[in-house]
Amino acid sequence: MPAATDGSTPLSSTRIRLALIALAIGSFGIGTTEFVAMGLLPDIARDLLPALFADSAEHANAQAGWLISAYALGVVVGAPTIAAFVARYPRRYVLVILGAAFTIATVATSLAPTFETVLISRFIAGIPHGAYFGIASLVAARLMGPGRRARGVALVMSGLTIANMIGVPLATFVGQSFGWRSAYFLVAIVFALATAAVWFAVPQQPGDAGQTMRKELKAFTRAQVWFALLIGSIGFGGFFAVYSYIAPIVTDVTGESAGLVPWVLFAIGLGMTIGNFVGGHIADKSVKLSLFVFFPLMLVVLVGLALTAAWLPALFFFVFATGFAAQGIGPTIQTRLMDVAGDSQSIAAALNHSALNIGNALGAFLGGVTIAAGAGYLSPVWVGAVLTVAGIALAVLSYATESRSAASRGVKPLDQNAERADAAASTRS
């Protein structure tokens, strides 16, 4: 663990580890609240849409998928606006306020009485998501030091991936046993604990006093920022098209009981946890290499899942592989955005989560459309494969455009100057 500072005082390795763990606890809560609906979708549909569920479980499940999209859209709206606004403020204070907002919004979800009010509460709960991950990633990158930024991002995101391995299956089990509302109440407790941990363990890091919202928003004038956002949102939508409907895939395609759903979610989470760290390691060497390893792998495993999901061992293998490939992309896109955003580091770090949650909303929506059209519960997997192909095409176009631009200016493309870009970005953060 490298020596690091909070801006004035050297920090011990133990203090750095505690700070990273505190940040990861927050991301653990975020991962659980974001994804728990996937495992409880039929329970939520049955409770909030009883008439529609009695008439057509498929249509009710598809409509309940709107809750996933609502949270994702909250992330999309909140990430750039909050991150740009808070860039000048001390980062620990910002993280504590965001943690408190998560706690309150998740309690509201557990208490909301109707589908419409739950929909609104999920949108509100998503608003702090991207800003938390963005600011936490900048804090972690500074703690880790130059040359290890992507691994710092991966450590923050490890809470999210562990949530998919432990938090989501556990919350799904609690929700199936005691009602879906109890799952969200459990998540609210996690957020309260995370907020306290951040307050006590994370060292204060100053914001950029000279930064303004206008300066942060300059990121949107950079073509490569838009490419990175499109790659993340469209390409990652392939994962969410599958994940959003994993519960009915288990019960209706594989023919297993709902009690197996938490174990399938565990397999996805295990794959995500391993893929997150592998992706962070590869991205620190080459973001380009990481993209062109994980996206083609994602396409292969989605096709494999679509062809073999009726066989239980194959289901477990391919959902694990799907999680591995998808989460390998996470720290890669995060690092790419930080590299191409210039001085707009706060908004760049948060925009990654806007991109991924556009993918969340897009995948859940398109998967729901195909299910409602009668194409069956495997149709979202094929939707995911198509979106992944689009993500690969965008990555190719992005790097081709960057190479042409660099050649015209007589400089090397960014990914070939990784150490220089890494050190510069670390200094800006």
Reported as a single tens digit per residue, the pLDDT across 342-381 is 777 677 767 777 787 788 778 888 988 899 888 999 999 9
Cβ atoms of residues 2 and 137 within 8 Å:
no
**CA separation for the pair 126, 318 (Å, rounded):** 29
Q: Tell me, what's the pLDDT at 251? A: 92
Confidence band, pLDDT 50/70/90 cuts, at residue 29: very high
**CA separation for the pair 29, 409 (Å, rounded):** 45
CA dihedral 191, 30, 118, 86 (to 10 degrees): 80
**CA separation for the pair 64, 48 (Å, rounded):** 8
Mean pLDDT of the chain, nearest integer = 84
Cβ atoms of residues 188 and 103 within 8 Å:
yes
Lowest average pLDDT, out of 65-79, 173-187, 247-261, 333-347, goes to 333-347
Cβ atoms of residues 102 and 128 within 8 Å:
yes
Residue 1 per-residue DSSP state: -
Q: What burial letters (b/e) apply to 239-270, b meaning 16+ CB within 10 Å?
A: bbbbbbbbbbbbbbbbebebebbbebbbbbbb
Residue 382 has pLDDT above 90, yes or no: yes
Residue 34 has pLDDT above 60, yes or no: yes
Residue 202 per-residue DSSP state: S
Q: Tell me, what's the pLDDT at 293? A: 93
Confidence band, pLDDT 50/70/90 cuts, at residue 425: very low
**For residue 343, which phi and psi values (nearest 5 degrees)?**
-85, -5
Q: Tell me, what's the pLDDT at 46? A: 92
Question: How far is residue 184 from each of residues 32, 148, 174, measured CA to CA in Å?
Answer: 9, 34, 10
Residue 197 has pLDDT above 50, yes or no: yes
Q: Which residue has the tokens 């390998």?
A: 328
Bridge partners of residue 4, in order along the sequence: 11
Interacting residues of 238 by C-beta distance below 8 A, sequence separation 6+ = 298, 299, 302, 326, 359, 363, 383, 384, 385, 386, 387, 388, 391
The SS3 call for residue 9 is coil
Cβ atoms of residues 398 and 231 within 8 Å:
yes
How many CB atoms lie under 10 A from the CB of residue 215? 18
Q: Tell me, what's the pLDDT at 400? A: 92
296 burial class (0-12, 13-18, 19+ CB within 10 angstroms)? Answer: middle
Residues 387-405, mean pLDDT to the nearest whole number: 91
Question: Which pair of tokens denotes residue 257?
Answer: 């009981």
Lowest average pLDDT, out of 1-15, 143-157, 244-258, goes to 1-15
Using alpha carbons only, give the angle 183, 312, 33 rounded to the nearest 5 degrees.
Answer: 20
The SS3 call for residue 394 is helix
Confidence band, pLDDT 50/70/90 cuts, at residue 415: low
Residue 325 has pLDDT above 90, yes or no: yes
Residues 214-226, mean pLDDT to the nearest whole number: 81
Cβ atoms of residues 108 and 120 within 8 Å:
no
Cβ atoms of residues 176 and 164 within 8 Å:
no
Residues 12-28, mean pLDDT to the nearest whole number: 88
Architecture of domain 4-428: Up-down Bundle (1.20)
**CA separation for the pair 114, 123 (Å, rounded):** 14
**CA separation for the pair 138, 60 (Å, rounded):** 40
The SS3 call for residue 127 is coil
